[in-house]
Amino acid sequence: MGEEVCRAIGADPATELVAKVDIGDSLDLLTEAAVDVVVDFTVLSVARQTLTFAAANGIHAVVGTTGFSAEDLTGFRAAFTSSNALIAPNFAIGAVLMIRFAELAAPHFDTAEIIEIHHDKKVDAPSGTATHTAERMAAASAEWADDPTTHQVYEGARGGVGPGDIHVHAVRMRGVVANQEVILGTTGQTLTIRHDTMDRTSFIPGVLVGVKNVANHTGVTVGLDSYLGL
């Protein structure tokens, strides 16, 4: 993902690639290159360091790493006083719309489940996109029917239980990048909202939106929604 971001930033006439930081490199490279915006698609432990460094040095940050705790976000919000940060669970604009559509639909349905499918190299489950979707749906509606299941032949067959008792199922499979569907049901009808990512380049338009607009969004923003006017 890092190479895709570097190529896109280098190719866009409105942005300039001035530094690349790899594993083992010092983050001081960012200040030496007078970076305005740092983009981070790494792992949680590294992204925490990147955000802390960016906040301390007045550098804007656009981060696609997921898994930050509520305590992490509280700390980042306190730290980013002279620059801003965008932390998004998904930069694919279609995925952002999927989450928003699910949030809008939630109050009109009685049951809902989320199925996310990712490549076989993804080590965390469920995905940040799935947890963010469940959080948004649960905030939009607290009225969900009880799960009728009283016996599971295989433990965990009903998936994990997220916010609002919404069940989330994580699939890890070769041959895919990232897919998610939200299934909502009520009397006599169901609604399925699905987004499929065929290539990592799908995230690039959203990343560029973040890079070009992060300076105008004060503090820490979670999710790309407001950058897209949603």
The CATH number of residue 192's host domain is 3.30.360.10
pTM over 0.75, yes/no: yes
Task: State the pLDDT at residue 134.
Answer: 96
Does residue 126 have a cis peptide bond before it, meaning omega lies within 30 degrees of 0?
Answer: yes
Whether 112 and 184 map to the same domain: the answer is yes
Task: State the pLDDT at residue 200.
Answer: 86
Task: State the pLDDT at residue 67.
Answer: 84
Whether 16 and 78 map to the same domain: the answer is yes
Catalytic residue, from 119, 122, 212, 217: name it. Answer: 122
Rounded distance, CA 226 to CA 84, Å? 14
56 close to 30: Cβ distance less than 8 angstroms? no
Strand partners, 172: 118
Backbone φ and ψ for 99, nearest 5 degrees, come out as -60, -45
What Cα–Cα distance (Å) separates residue 100 from each residue in 35, 95, 178?
Answer: 32, 9, 18
Active site residue 151: no
Whether 21 and 33 map to the same domain: the answer is yes
Rounded distance, CA 95 to CA 85, Å? 20
Whether 172 and 224 map to the same domain: the answer is no
Whether 189 and 171 map to the same domain: the answer is yes
User: Each residue's pLDDT tens digit in the chain (230 positions)?
Assistant: 888 899 999 999 999 999 999 878 999 999 999 999 999 999 899 999 999 999 999 999 999 988 899 999 999 999 999 999 999 989 999 999 999 999 999 999 999 999 999 999 998 899 989 999 999 999 999 899 999 999 999 999 999 999 999 999 999 999 999 999 999 999 999 999 999 999 889 999 999 999 999 999 999 999 999 999 88
Taking each helix axis from N to C end, the angle separating 70-79 and 44-56, rounded to the nearest 10 degrees, works out to: 20
15 three-class SS: coil
Range of the domain at 217: 2-87+201-228
Active site residue 118: yes
In the chain, DSSP assigns E strands to: 37-40, 60-63, 85-87, 111-118, 160-161, 167-172, 178-186, 189-197, 220-222
Whether 44 and 11 map to the same domain: the answer is yes
Catalytic residue, from 20, 60, 108, 118: name it. Answer: 118
Whether 71 and 117 map to the same domain: the answer is no
Strand partners, 189: 186
For the chain, helix, strand, coil in percent to 5 are 40, 20, 40
Task: State the pLDDT at residue 22.
Answer: 87
On the CB side of 121, CA atoms within 13 Å amount to 5
Whether 32 and 78 map to the same domain: the answer is yes
Whether 127 and 152 map to the same domain: the answer is yes
Whether 83 and 38 map to the same domain: the answer is yes
Whether 194 and 205 map to the same domain: the answer is no
> What domain count does the chain have?
2
Task: State the pLDDT at residue 230.
Answer: 81
Task: State the pLDDT at residue 123.
Answer: 87
Whether 176 and 156 map to the same domain: the answer is yes
